[in-house]
Amino acid sequence: MNIDIPELYSLLASASDQELDELPFGVIGFDEGGRITRYNRYESQLSGLSPERVTGRHLFTGVAPCMNNPLISGLFVDARDAGQPLDETIDYVLAFKIRPVAVKLRMLYRPGADTCFVVIRRTDADT
């Protein structure tokens, strides 16, 4: 599976934690308030942060402030305020502790759904 498939939101929303852990890309699920509710193994290994450390924390202010900008968190706020779905993919550079990491981010939101998703695939290496 890759991050470009049209039905990705539905697949992620219905996936078990084990199924999310088997994906070859990072998945961060969070509620409309920004609190992380889902965090898969790939993302944990990429970031060096355990699910226990991030679950319940605010994604954009407590875990990944490098995503707290109009390109990422702002799109979720705009979609929520407009009551419109969000399905946007961008190239981005995440600022991890050791070095910047080039990624492709797919942002997914459905009005009325319990979970929003940021999907992360590294583009700087085949890792």
pLDDT band with cut points at 50, 70 and 90 for residue 33: very high
Which CATH architecture does the domain made up of 23-119 adopt? 2-Layer Sandwich (3.30)
pLDDT of 61-111, one tens digit each?
A: 999 999 999 999 999 999 999 999 999 999 999 876 667 889 999 999 999
- Taking residues 2-21, report their average pLDDT: 96
Can you give the pLDDT at residue 127?
44
pLDDT over 60 at 126, yes or no = no
CA angle 39, 44, 50 (to 5 degrees): 85
- Taking residues 13-32, report their average pLDDT: 97
Share of the chain above pLDDT 90, in %: 84
Share of the chain above pLDDT 70, in %: 94
